[in-house]
Amino acid sequence: MKYDIKDAKLKNQGVLKIEWAERNMPVLRNIKKRLEKQKPFKGIRIAACLHVTTETANLMRTLKAGGAEVVLTASNPLSTQDEVAAALVKAFQIPTFAIKGESNKIYYQHLKSTLSIKPHITMDDGADLVSTIHKTHRKLIKDIIGGTEETTTGVIRLKSMAANNVLEFPIIAVNDSYTKFLFDNRYGTGQSTIDGILRATNVLIAGGDFVVCGYGWCSKGIAKRAAGMGARVIVTEVDPIKAIEAVMDGFTVMPIADAAKIGDIFVTATGDINVIRMEHFQKMKEGAIVANSGHFNVELDLDTLRKKSKKKRDIRNSVREYTLKNGKKIYILSEGRLVNLSAAEGHPAIVMDMSFANQTLAAEFILKNAKKLEKKVYKLPDELDINIANLKLKTMGIKIDKLTPEQIEYLNSWELGT
């Protein structure tokens, strides 16, 4: 078995952490039990490019239990948990190519190594696997029946490929399931982003001015959690509707050029490039802390910050100090890479449970519908999404009401009014 990990001796530590996460993934465990019996993925090769975390390890084990041959590469150079990679290889015999802190060059080498499996199904978080296949590994396309995509940024990239008629196989946008984005993006990113900032800096959130750039599902979660910890939250937006939402959720909304002067902590989660630029860094207060929680490390213009700083040094793990020419110091977390997975451990297992239940059902859906699916980006059918929600409620011990026949009839009729 080929693999590339930091240190095989971390295996036992990784196994314990994977088991710890598994305790909080009851929906995935339930699906795994069924797949173990049915083995729907027998003979199917799956190449996955996901954050190498304890939760991902449980997804890989689930697919393997269902008969798949799986191989995993990191979807970000800084998000890998090395002990998890060691356990995947040495305890669970799942080939893994991931080392925390790997260079961009090694990141792409690893990605290409997973493609030597000649996948039938791809599983992406950010669409780097699919884009590499389309750019440099086109020979593989003939064997691929479909792929899944985990995150908003990846779905945007893949929809742009479909719109430009260059997408060569169907994709299930796992991100677009309600049981994914309403929970993982909002509560997962909300908590894990604050967790990353705290582990990196140990600053007090209460009483500070906390600027959140963007007001999508991830940013909504970050803003809510920062407010919950006592910060005064400012939101910046380009979308007028989201800006009104932020105002009515109780936040102050203003352009980043104005927020730059006020914030103690800044977090971007917009999915776009150069959201915080040199003109903003220059206006910031001495000691401002700046982090990104969006998928790619493009939201902070660090190239210009590097060029225009007279000095830089690492202060603590994940904290780099930049001294500007005017002597002001700015602190960038995790090199502008997603702070929740670089400085902390990503979203807790209890929300990844639903996300990865969606991934598993999406792979099964591709398998069952391969002949019918076109080269488009699809959402998982609502009944599967609802099925996951029902399973989750059951595992939480929560019962809900059912519509009475009379209520169903009322909803289906147009005659009854006032």
Nearer to ligand ADE, 324 or 333 (CB): 333
Which one of 11, 35, 56, 62 is in contact with ligand ADE (CB under 6 A)? Answer: 56
Question: According to the binding rule CB under 6 A, does residue 53 interact with ligand ADE?
Answer: yes
The sign of the CA dihedral 28, 30, 31, 36 is positive
Which one of 51, 157, 225, 320 is in contact with ligand ADE (CB under 6 A)? Answer: 51
Q: Buried b vs exposed e over 324-347: b needs ≥16 C-beta within 10 Å?
A: beeebbbbbbbbbbbbbbbbbbbb
Nearer to ligand ADE, 113 or 185 (CB): 185
Interface positions, 61-100, toward ligand ADE (CB under 6 A): none
* DSSP secondary structure code for residue 80 in this structure: -
Q: What share of the chain is helix, strand, coil (3-state, %, to 5)?
A: 50, 15, 35
Q: Whats the size of the chain, residue-wise?
A: 418
Which listed range, 48-56, 106-114, 194-202, 405-413, lies at the site for ligand ADE (CB under 6 A)? Answer: 48-56
Contacts with ligand ADE, 336-375, as mask; x by CB under 6 A: -----x----xx----x-----------------------
Q: Which amino acid, 330?
A: I
Q: Residue 354 to residues 13, 89, 177, 179, 357: CA-CA distances in angstroms?
A: 25, 25, 10, 6, 5
Nearest approach, Cβ of residue 411 and ligand ADE (Å): 37
Which one of 17, 32, 55, 217 is in contact with ligand ADE (CB under 6 A)? Answer: 55
Question: According to the binding rule CB under 6 A, does residue 152 interact with ligand ADE?
Answer: no
Compute φ and ψ for 320, nearest 5 degrees.
-115, 130
Nearest approach, Cβ of residue 405 and ligand ADE (Å): 42
Nearest approach, Cβ of residue 106 and ligand ADE (Å): 20
Question: According to the binding rule CB under 6 A, does residue 334 interact with ligand ADE?
Answer: no
Nearest approach, Cβ of residue 276 and ligand ADE (Å): 22
Chain position carrying tokens 């609802």: 386
Nearest approach, Cβ of residue 64 and ligand ADE (Å): 17
Which listed range, 45-53, 134-142, 161-169, 253-261, lies at the site for ligand ADE (CB under 6 A)? Answer: 45-53
Nearer to ligand ADE, 124 or 237 (CB): 124
Distance CA 318, CA 330 (A): 13
Interface positions, 277-316, toward ligand ADE (CB under 6 A): none
Task: Look at residues 68, 161, 148 and name the one whose alpha carbon lies nearest to residue 384.
Answer: 148
Nearest approach, Cβ of residue 60 and ligand ADE (Å): 11
**3-state class (DSSP) for residue 4:** strand
Q: What is the DSSP string of 238-301?
A: S-HHHHHHHHHTT-EE--HHHHHHH-SEEEE-SSSS-SB-HHHHHHSPTTEEEEE-SSSTTSB-
Contacts with ligand ADE, 114-133, as mask; x by CB under 6 A: --------------------
Nearer to ligand ADE, 214 or 346 (CB): 346
**3-state class (DSSP) for residue 45:** strand
Nearest approach, Cβ of residue 307 and ligand ADE (Å): 31
Interface positions, 182-221, toward ligand ADE (CB under 6 A): 188
Nearest approach, Cβ of residue 131 and ligand ADE (Å): 19
Residue nearest to ligand ADE (CB): 346
Nearer to ligand ADE, 18 or 262 (CB): 18
Q: Which residues contact 100 (CB under 8 A, 6 or more apart)?
A: 6, 77, 78, 79, 80, 81, 82
Q: Which amino acid, 329?
A: K
Which listed range, 51-59, 83-91, 251-259, 382-390, lies at the site for ligand ADE (CB under 6 A)? Answer: 51-59
Nearer to ligand ADE, 263 or 346 (CB): 346
- Number of residues in contact with ligand ADE under rule CB under 6 A: 10
Structure token pair of residue 388: 């996951």
E strands within 42-132? Answer: 45-50, 69-74, 96-97, 121-124
Do 313 and 221 meet the contact criterion of CB atoms below 8 Å apart? Answer: no
Which listed range, 26-34, 46-54, 264-272, 287-295, lies at the site for ligand ADE (CB under 6 A)? Answer: 46-54
Residues that bind ligand ADE (CB under 6 A): 50-51, 53, 55-56, 188, 341, 346-347, 352
